[in-house]
Amino acid sequence: MKLKAGIMGATGMVGQRFIMALREHPWFELSCLMASSNSAGKKYKDAAKWYLKDEIPAGISDMVVEEINKKVAEKYDLDIVFSAIPSEFARDIEASFAESIGVFSNTSTYRMDKDIPLLVPEVNPEHLGIIEAQKKNRGWEGFIVTNPNCSTAGLVVPLKPIMDNYGIKSVNVTTMQAISGAGYDGVPSMAILDNLIPFIKGEEEKMETEPQKILGRLEKNEFKQASFEAFASCNRVMVLDGHTEAAFVYTEKDFDIEDVKKKLRDFQGEPQKMCLPTAPNPPIVLMEKDDRPQPRFDRDLGGGMAVSVGRLRKKKEKLLKFVCLSHNTIRGAAGASVLNAELAYKKKLIN
Amino acid sequence: MKLKAGIMGATGMVGQRFIMALREHPWFELSCLMASSNSAGKKYKDAAKWYLKDEIPAGISDMVVEEINKKVAEKYDLDIVFSAIPSEFARDIEASFAESIGVFSNTSTYRMDKDIPLLVPEVNPEHLGIIEAQKKNRGWEGFIVTNPNCSTAGLVVPLKPIMDNYGIKSVNVTTMQAISGAGYDGVPSMAILDNLIPFIKGEEEKMETEPQKILGRLEKNEFKQASFEAFASCNRVMVLDGHTEAAFVYTEKDFDIEDVKKKLRDFQGEPQKMCLPTAPNPPIVLMEKDDRPQPRFDRDLGGGMAVSVGRLRKKKEKLLKFVCLSHNTIRGAAGASVLNAELAYKKKLIN
Amino acid sequence: MKLKAGIMGATGMVGQRFIMALREHPWFELSCLMASSNSAGKKYKDAAKWYLKDEIPAGISDMVVEEINKKVAEKYDLDIVFSAIPSEFARDIEASFAESIGVFSNTSTYRMDKDIPLLVPEVNPEHLGIIEAQKKNRGWEGFIVTNPNCSTAGLVVPLKPIMDNYGIKSVNVTTMQAISGAGYDGVPSMAILDNLIPFIKGEEEKMETEPQKILGRLEKNEFKQASFEAFASCNRVMVLDGHTEAAFVYTEKDFDIEDVKKKLRDFQGEPQKMCLPTAPNPPIVLMEKDDRPQPRFDRDLGGGMAVSVGRLRKKKEKLLKFVCLSHNTIRGAAGASVLNAELAYKKKLIN
Amino acid sequence: MKLKAGIMGATGMVGQRFIMALREHPWFELSCLMASSNSAGKKYKDAAKWYLKDEIPAGISDMVVEEINKKVAEKYDLDIVFSAIPSEFARDIEASFAESIGVFSNTSTYRMDKDIPLLVPEVNPEHLGIIEAQKKNRGWEGFIVTNPNCSTAGLVVPLKPIMDNYGIKSVNVTTMQAISGAGYDGVPSMAILDNLIPFIKGEEEKMETEPQKILGRLEKNEFKQASFEAFASCNRVMVLDGHTEAAFVYTEKDFDIEDVKKKLRDFQGEPQKMCLPTAPNPPIVLMEKDDRPQPRFDRDLGGGMAVSVGRLRKKKEKLLKFVCLSHNTIRGAAGASVLNAELAYKKKLIN
């Protein structure tokens, strides 16, 4: 018996990735598609501007889109819901669902709340431990679990073994982010052809605060931020999918570069150990070729869930440089939420 | 009476920019175009794959290309020569010309030599003071002046007022470089469409060593490197012209961000004070709009010689972030050499 | 004394091109900028998303945008107005201005009306002869003159000397149109990167009917359509500016291909003979290189007003093939309207 | 027992597609990779600049590349060989292999020869009937079968049911071809960014002659060309893979447009009837959405072997317009050759 899952924001680009991630999922069954009132009542194929190359899965095309509303959870007897709704609506809507069921949200609204896990299963699976307190605090029978911003998601995976082995003092990161991160209509071709844009609203702020929560510890139901500083410069470039990030990491302890490579190559997280259905293995694909990773070639590794890391160099004592790449709408959005749900399910947080 | 100038490597992309920079120059007259034996003997219009939008200037089209050879200097009675030849040939060829005339070279070969100035007129005009020693050392009647790598050229201009006012401890820089930097055939469209490449051969090494020479002092005919460290991550993106660079600068003294802006905005170098013909004024265009500079819009400011600086932020005490942009084949190549020649001429180093 | 000109739709992409075309115009002075109520009351620089590389001309930046309304004509004592407003509003608005002044419209609304000239000064200058009848019919003191759709504009110029010399039976044309033709937000980068779109709403219909009116005769105040048939296939490609069109023209009489080249090369229209300020000369730039015209290199010829024609081939008896290119927002929009106004002024239709 | 197959030109882009098409093929086994002397002796992974997203198949990476030479056929006991070598070498090399085994060639050299089939299995499977005569004429034990140029390959499939049902008088076609058609280094990014190129060497000539052979009849060992005329205008656009073609077809008989749609939709060729392993079904994907086909979305339909057809319109009596799209390195190259080999095998031409 599979769990019944809904998607809020099902017509957008992340919503489409949710559909692909849940199609033929061994544990979850896609029972309900929700979107704004514009789309409600229409068949999915008529409501969505489908942008993926693979066609809309059979069985999804003709599903009628529901308007986002907590009553839908009852109507479809949902066990969980995935959320990719705009942050301005998320606070009330996600809470209303969390009163009764588990919400796995890609939206930024709750990410930094004191009792909400900002979860990356390879990095901080123990943060799910807050859920019980969260339910108590808020009087919910369900809960909310968030995943990080797309640019944070790719970075924290390689930071995890680096922090565990050498400690991190600070991180400077410059991103080159794909156009799909802004949504289908987000970046006009007039804006980006023969060009790049050194600004993405709110992005640097997220990258400078989320990693410390994710890489921090949960102690007595309190999140202790990791102590490093993060500084970001975020840019949009003309790439369809895949965020590339150049990171300079100042470590606490010195390191041998071959040792770092080994630590990254051998890294295994809970999802790999538990063999979660969408967990990539290895989670980090270490590349030694001078000119990799590259988005067009490497973004789909591990089904879009792997993080590719290359150009690893020791720049001086305690200064490590690398370039990492991850698929922004899979590892950085829908896939991240689904992996979170898989972990929560395996940890028996969903009944 | 204008000085007679030649161009070595006249058919390539930098060579074309030299032609445009010297067309109608008030002090220099383009007397001779030199290229490899493949092109020698042909009319320029037949030898060059002209890639600029403006047509080949009248008078240049039908000039017959000479093979690169020091005898050409005599034949045309050249006063100076500009060089954009591949680095593997440059050592002997540039030296042979320097025996008799001034060589302004865009090639990397001599840049780091002890008695060769690596000149950016706004930054280190006093480095020309080495020329006399250079001539003596080498037994030349002429001399060699080099300009930096295209990605260094854009960075050192804003670093100058920052160093002068606050000191610099270290710089981390990530570049997003235009395809023209690799030459006309350098980047296949198959390699870069819907993609970026996190590697440019030799580029990080140059960016990590050239700035310290340029921003260093000349003392008793010896270059004293500036003491800061520079670390670079260089990337190729699908932009025609214009290198964009995201820099994190750790300063010696703390700063007020508005004060930094003022220092950049008000910055004037020797070329501006001397009103050199191709000097941009202001040399630094400070941009306060969140999403600028952008290569398609800003690369041609100041005739391609200005450096645009935006996204200036104080990230924490003594940590400054900005994005700078400069035209890689003008400020970063041909235009740089021509400005060097103008300075040398004004300083009476060319007779 | 210059004529006072207004622009309706001044903030859009065609509006921006109008501003550039009228800046420093010898006969017209830009007195008033009009746009929708969203923009009204704002300074132009705040109202417009300026997309051109050249900066907003001094004197324009701070002009306050007026809401589109016929009272504006009086307030500013306008002599003429240029229109680039959406076709759904144009019928009433343009008519209201035409009651008192001359309207030069880039909008499609009135193009095919029986008493409205669809004017390309090189092709059918005599069509202005309808104006008197138009004023009488409609009881206007002013008038409306339209210019064709951007893809038609480039095609009819070379068709003119071909029709005059050999007659035309039919034309098949396939376009490859620039993204700027759809407006700044018209083509999302997600839609066009590594892609093309074989459809532009309404475009094929316009290309299949406008040429016959333009190349037709005006007889006794009636437009007699040219008798040829036109068939179009319109495509959007990832080019910033410049529509490229591959045309197959079936002629009435057979031709010698060198003779066709000569006729195109030597073609002169009224604007050239009258030396109208923005008339390109030659209006047709004939290219014999195998791989030209190309949009990035050739779209700006003649200030964006020339039509480049290349790949001229005789495919068989009475079948001519060529590729033509023109700048879609200059020759195909704003520049077309301005040239129309220049012709009307010279013909004393504007007092 | 699978047949042993070799690939000549295995390191190039078409060669890579051959490898993908033959990997896990039910009838053919990839036994030998051949390339120029530059690559000979190297492991495949070191010799090839692999450009596909899917990794080099296991088992291929470490195969040692052989220099192209007929002795290789014996050494590896090859049954067939696929050829993607430059046309200037093909005449002698392909003939030397054909002395003993079947050669399936993507190269243009032999396409128009009197006794060589230019085969598209959906269109002219009976042309394989020439093989016996070919062997006799040339004294070969093997034979040569060619497939058409990439732009022809996509066009002739929809032309087949059109010709069979309505007859064809003439075809005008304008192509918008992908950069991969020129090989990895064929189109510099400097040439095509924000641009298109209205010229591809030799392409229009091929498109104007190959269709008539393919759609012609084989009578008494003689190819009778189809009687229609074809005229082509070929353009390169910035698309990775997938040639889009806008065709105007003048038919002999008039047609009902819905009837044409049905004929295209229902079209089945020999490969479909025989269920050849790589035959797409349906071979023609008819699209009724206004804005399809589009290369990024539709090029991979049917494993890259289907031809998408859209924008079907009756322009006037006996004039049909459509846009077709096919994958240029699969249906237009390697996949075409493999399908040819499958047909030949099924027809017992390979022992």
Q: What average pLDDT does chain C have?
A: 97
CA distances D185 to A10, C27, D329, Å, are 41, 51, 15
Instruction: Point out the catalytic residue in the list A32, A150, A234, A324.
Output: A150
The predicted pLDDT at position D42 comes to 97
Per-residue exposure over C88-104, b if at least 16 CB sit within 10 Å of its own CB, e if not: ebbeebbbbbbebbbbb
Q: Does C184 touch chain A (CB under 8 A)?
A: yes
> Under a CB-based contact definition with an 8 Å cutoff, are residues A82 and A344 in contact?
no
Q: Is D169 helix (H, G, I), strand (E, B) or coil?
A: strand
Within 8 A by CB and 6+ apart from A37, the residues are A67
Chains that touch B (3 or more CB pairs under 8 A): A, C, D
Average pLDDT per run of 10 along chain B, which is 351 residues long?
96 95 96 96 94 90 96 96 94 97 97 98 98 97 98 98 98 98 95 98 98 98 97 98 98 98 98 98 97 97 98 98 98 98 96 72
- Taking CA–CA distances from C296, the nearest residue in chain B reads B53
Using alpha carbons, list the distances in angstroms from residue D160 to B83, C239, D260, D277: 59, 34, 12, 22
Residue A57 preceded by cis peptide, ω within 30: no
Check if C150 is active-site.
yes
Interface touch C297/B53, C-beta < 8 Å: yes
Is the preceding peptide bond at B282 cis, omega within 30 degrees of 0? Answer: yes
- pLDDT value of residue B199: 98
Residue from the list A176, A229, A239 with its beta carbon closest to the beta carbon of B316: A229
DSSP-derived secondary structure letter, D197 = B
Which ipTM value was assigned to this complex? 0.96
Query: Tens digit of pLDDT for each residue in A222-279?
Result: 999 999 999 999 999 999 999 999 999 999 999 999 999 999 999 999 999 999 999 9
Count the Cβ atoms, other than its own, within 10 Å of residue C2. Answer: 13
pLDDT digits (tens, 9 = 90+) for D303-313: 999 999 999 99
Selecting from A172, A201, A316 the residue whose C-beta is nearest the C-beta of B248 gives A172
The pLDDT tens digits for C143-157 are 999 999 999 999 999
Task: Tell whether the torsion through CA atoms of B330, B332, B335 and B339 is positive or negative.
Answer: positive
Task: Record the tokens describing residue C69, joined without a space.
Answer: 């309304």
Q: Which residue of chain B has the CA closest to D237?
A: B189
Residue A321 forms contact with B (CB below 8 Å): yes
The pLDDT-based confidence of C250 (bands split at 50, 70, 90) is: very high
Which CATH class, in words, describes the domain spanning B150-327?
alpha beta
A297–chain D nearest CA distance, Å = 5
Distance CA A290, CA A295 (A): 14
pLDDT tens digits along A78-96 = 999 999 999 989 999 999 9
What pLDDT does residue B54 have? 87
Distance CA D202, CA D208 (A): 10
Check if A194 contacts C (Cβ < 8 Å). Answer: yes
Encode burial over A272-311: b for 16+ CB neighbours within 10 A, e otherwise: beeebbbbbebbbbbbeeebbbbbbbbbbbbebbbbbbbb
Q: How far apart are the first and last CA of chain C?
A: 12
Residue type, D85: I
Cβ atoms of C234 and C199 closer than 8 Å: yes
pLDDT-derived band of residue A166, with 50, 70 and 90 as boundaries? Answer: very high
The residue of chain B with its CA nearest to that of A250 is B172
Residues of C in contact with A186 (CB under 8 A): 188, 190
Catalytic choice (A32, A127, A234, A243): A243
D184, B194: Cβ pair inside 8 Å? no
- The C-alpha of B153 sits at a distance from chain C's nearest C-alpha, in angstroms, of 23
**Residue of D51, D53, D174, D208 to mutate, interface with C, max C Cβ within 10 Å:** D174
pLDDT band at C178 (very low <50, low <70, confident <90, very high): very high
What pTM value is reported for the model?
A: 0.96
The answer to whether D160 and D123 have CB atoms below 8 angstroms apart is yes
**Domain positions in chain A:** 3-149+334-346, 150-327
- Please, which residues 127-146 of chain B have a Cβ atom closer than 8 Å to chain C? none
SS3 A64: strand
pLDDT at A51: 86
Closest CA to C135 of C117, C150, C153, C147: C117
Could you tell me how far CA B8 lies from the centroid of its own chain? 16
Digit-coded pLDDT (tens) for D85-115 = 999 999 999 999 999 999 999 999 999 999 9
Chain B residue numbers touching C300 (CB-CB < 8 A): 53
Which residue on chain C is closest to B50 by alpha carbon? C297
Minimum distance, in Å, between the CA of residue D11 and any CA atom of chain A: 18
Q: Is A291 on the interface with B (CB under 8 A)?
A: yes
pLDDT value of position B53: 86
Residue of chain D with shortest Cα separation from C192: D296
pLDDT band for A54, please (50, 70, 90 cuts): confident
Residues A190-227: pLDDT tens digits?
999 999 999 999 999 999 999 999 999 999 999 999 99
Mean pLDDT of D157-172: 98
Q: What is the pLDDT of residues A268-277, one digit of tens each?
A: 999 999 999 9
**Alpha-carbon distances of B272 from B277, B281, B306, B309, D36, rounded to whole Å:** 9, 6, 11, 18, 57
Mind listing the pLDDT tens digit for each residue in A144-156? 999 999 999 999 9
Provide mean pLDDT across the span C117-134: 98
Q: Which residue has the tokens 């195909």?
A: C332
Distances (CA, A) of A67 to A7, A8, A62, A183: 11, 9, 16, 20
Q: What percent of chain C has pLDDT over 70?
A: 100
Mutate to test the interface with B, among D189, D192, D194, D195 (most CBs of B within 10 A): D189
Sheet with C143-146, edge to edge strand ranges: C66-67, C28-35, C3-8, C80-83, C102-105, C143-146
Report d(CA A268, CA D165) in Å as an integer.
62
For residue C172, the surrounding DSSP H or E stretch is: strand C168-177
Going by pLDDT thresholds of 50, 70 and 90, the confidence category of residue A119 is very high
CATH superfamily assigned to domain C3-149+334-346:
NAD(P)-binding Rossmann-like Domain (3.40.50.720)
Query: CB distance from B180 to chain D under 8 Å?
Result: yes
User: Mean pLDDT over residues C23-38, rounded?
Assistant: 96
Query: Which of C193, C194, C300 is opposite residue B53, by nearest beta carbon?
Result: C300
pLDDT at C53 over 90: no
Give D173's strand partners.
Answer: D232, D247
A243 catalytic per annotation: yes
Q: Which subunits have 3 or more CB–CB pairs within 8 Å of chain A?
A: B, C, D
